[in-house]
Amino acid sequence: MKNKINPIEAILRGHSVMILDGALATELESHGCDLDDPLWSARVLLENPEVIYQVHSDYFRAGADCAITASYQATVEGFALRGIQEKEALDLIRKTVLLARKARDEFWKEEYQTIRPKPLVAASVGPYGAYLADGSEYVGNYGVSDETLAAFHRSRISALIEAGADILAFETIPSLQEAKVLHSLLKEYPEVYAWLSFSLKNEKAISDGTLLEECARLFGDSEQIAAIGINCAPVSVITEAIQVLRANTHKPIIVYPNSGESYNPETKTWHGPESCNRLDVKSEDWHHAGANIIGGCCRTAPHHIAGISRKWRPSVVTIS
């Protein structure tokens, strides 16, 4: 992957909002996949990868400018627990990008509207806590060294880049320590871009308690960080968090909240009322607050993304 041009910057140059996809896991479950597994959506890579391709295609038809790959919980260490050797594990990780690229390229062959940007493929790099499969990605205090985190992430990042992703998605990052490690690894690939999105403790702090404004300032001068933001946070905290980010960085701000329900990491179930039914309306508030890149995370679906697309690209026909 050799991106001399920042791919997010290229889209935002012609459009006020870049539209992300929504949850992958929700849609895989709606297609009959069982994700009650430490591998989560990565399990489907082993059992039914064509469903992943189908979900990516659905989001492109709904209006998404970007697909986030099924690699969030796909790691060499995680696959090893299933008896999968490193070479095969890395092939599976690369496959997440190839599936998304195939869905994008086949969709684009049928897309004749020049007012729409060609969608990107963002390779998901989930946090170390996602591999632990115990909800640690929402806390971030792993108690491990920088070296441990770097060794965990390095081979996956390399595989995702080799597979031809347009950009890396460092997402649901709960700690400043892990963000710094990922940024240092990114520097090993000077022509590669990434976005950096954090999970939140509240409107002003990421999950490990570090102030959001500190995170925004620390990575604000990085040439390779294409956007900074938040994901998998409830809709209720998004606007204030955007305001904090906008006051502390000139980077594009990326937000993709969850449905507003609460996640129980022990039972791996969601509870409580949804608050994402009008993401199209809320996206206007978020854009006004300073967000440029908007989509959905856990428990959101193609119809939510179609709503956002109709709001910001009314002349583009979407299929929800």
Structure tokens at 35: 């994700």
**Cα distance between residue 85 and residue 193, in whole Å:** 29
Q: State the residue for tokens 């490990």.
A: 208
Q: Which residue reads 């060499």 in tokens?
A: 76
Amino acid at 20: L
Phi, psi of 167 (to 5 degrees): -160, 155
At 236 the pLDDT is 92
In this prediction, residue 320 carries a pLDDT of 55
What integer is the mean pLDDT of 203-212?
Answer: 97
Lowest-pLDDT choice from 105-109, 137-141, 196-200, 308-312: 137-141
**Cα–Cα distance between 125 and 160 in angstroms, integer?**
9
Is 235's pLDDT higher than 60? yes
What's the token pair of residue 279?
């993401």
Residue closest to 272 by CA, chosen among 283, 260, 258:
260
pLDDT of residue 129: 92
Q: What is the pLDDT of residue 141?
A: 86
Model pTM? Answer: 0.92
pLDDT band at 267 (very low <50, low <70, confident <90, very high): very low
* CA distances in angstroms from 269 to 72, 143, 257, listed in the order given: 18, 26, 17
- Dihedral sign for Cα atoms in the order 173, 70, 293, 10: positive
Q: Is residue 59 scored above 90 in pLDDT?
A: yes
